[in-house]
A and B are shown apart, each in its own frame.
Chain A
Amino acid sequence: EPEVTQTPSHQVTQMGQEVILRCVPISNHLYFYWYRQILGQKVEFLVSFYNNEISEKSEIFDDQFSVERPDGSNFTLKIRSTKLEDSAMYFCASSAEGARAFFGQGTRLTVV
């Protein structure tokens, strides 16, 4: 089965630093998403991306966050100035038209 690939699997960063989380969605998918799960809590939607622009974003996705599809294969989430509360598992997902989302294995972000 095709996979969504995320790198790195674990990222430790100092508070205030910028981080970029990387994702390679499934090649023929058109919709891309970022979700996060803070330890012990539910999976939360951050942002969806379609046709090279953000189609929807949640309240969590403030000005510190940005997404980019720099080439035909990668989809990135940038956090400009990390805070302690940004520590979470970040999941990238992708889907085809009208179909269920496939999730990557996640990146564990630890802000110290």
Chain B
Amino acid sequence: DQQVKQNSPSLSVQEGRISILNCDYTNSMFDYFLWYKKYPAEGPTFLISISSIKDKNEDGRFTVFLNKSAKHLSLHIVPSQPGDSAVYFCAASPQGGSEKLVFGKGTKLTVNP
């Protein structure tokens, strides 16, 4: 039962271009969405989040868009840098983030110099 789906296991982009990572969810009870970044042999680190009352949240080079009617969110990284190369996990929570997070399988982003 995949409540959070990241359908692209990998993505490769050129340095300086935009990276777009996509995530779909099925559970209407989710109201808080997060993106985590994970390097090998490290724990996930928080990147950016969005509440269901918003449709966009921006933090520097990172922007998350939420389309509730489509149950879809996306993470835009612009411009992409080689240091952004990592696995990106989309996660969702039913209540403000203090409940369990349900993770997608992750998308491995490679930014080529």
Contacts and interface: CB of A to CB of B under 8 A. Distances in A.
Interface string A69-112: 00000000000000000000001010111111111111010000
Interface residues of B, number: 22
Interface string B42-70: 11111001000000000000000000000
B interface secondary structure, majority: loop
Contacts of A100: 34, 46, 49, 97
A42 B9 CA distance: 11
Contacts, number: 60
A105 B103 contact: no
Contacts of B105: 41-42
A101 B104 contact: no
B98 A43 contact: no
Contact of A56 (B42, B46, B96, B99): B99
B71 interface: no
A45 interface: yes
B43 A105 contact: yes
Nearest to B43: A103
Given A91-B44, A102-B46, A104-B43, A43 B99 contact: no
Interface residues of A, number: 28
B41 to A, nearest CB: 8
Contacts of A43: 44, 89, 91, 103, 106
21 contacts: A31-B98, A33-B101, A42-B103, A42-B104, A42-B105, A45-B100, A48-B99, A56-B99, A58-B100, A91-B43, A91-B44, A96-B98, A97-B98, A98-B98, A103-B36, A103-B43, A104-B43, A105-B42, A106-B41, A106-B42, A106-B43
Interface of B: 34, 36, 41-46, 49, 89, 91, 96-106
